[in-house]
Structure 1
């Protein structure tokens, strides 16, 4: 899959999260930093039910477009859910966990964009 196609998937995930009222939604282009994924989508949700709703909305949105979720971690705790779509990894955090783990800092060399902003 071409990088601009993967970016489009990441943006769809970000919009789906934002539509469920996730906050501080960003897309990180980590393509040149790790073989793990090309893009991370990171967002915050204020409660366990919202974490679950945002995660479900992202999965449903991408599933509608033929993108299968390869794995889900953290749904039982509802504090940090990781959705693995292969080239795109979505992180849905409770705000305190996002602040604690600060993924944005760990991948500080990545280009960071807001919803709708093009990375390529």
Structure 2
């Protein structure tokens, strides 16, 4: 589906909510909706039940697949919420600065 900038964040030691969070970007509302539809369909075929929010507008679609939460954003919305920064390891900045 040509999703862009896909990132997986390990949540095992950070939250009881899920084990992992996947964050990806679609170029437009239609692209976000298409990516989300494909993910939902593939999960359904694999026998995974999902809860979905945000499909009517497709600025940000959240797919709760139990142990994995998938966020599909338009670029502007992803930049605004900056989930990667919120869930980044606290020492990540220190490691980057030392490099």
Using the size of structure 2 for normalisation, the TM-score is 0.87
Shift of 1:49: 0.9
1:104 aligns with 2:84: yes
What corresponds to 2:49 in structure 1? 68
Tell me the distance in 1 between the aligned counterparts of 2:30 and 2:76: 16
Counterpart in 2 of 1:17? none
Give the corresponding residue for 1:55. 36
Structure 1 runs not aligned, ≥5 long? 1-19, 111-120
- Name the CA distance, whole Å, in 2 between partners of 1:21 and 1:45: 8
- The Cα shift of 1:63 comes to 1.2
Dislocated runs of 4+, deviation >2 Å: none
What is the match of residue 27 of structure 2?
A: 46
Unaligned runs of 5+ in 2: 91-99
* RCO comparison, higher one (Cα < 8 Å, 6+): 1
Once residues 19 and 66 of structure 2 are traced to their aligned partners in structure 1, the CA distance between those partners, rounded to angstroms, is 9
Alpha-carbon RMSD across the aligned residues, in angstroms, is 1.1
- Count matched residues: 90
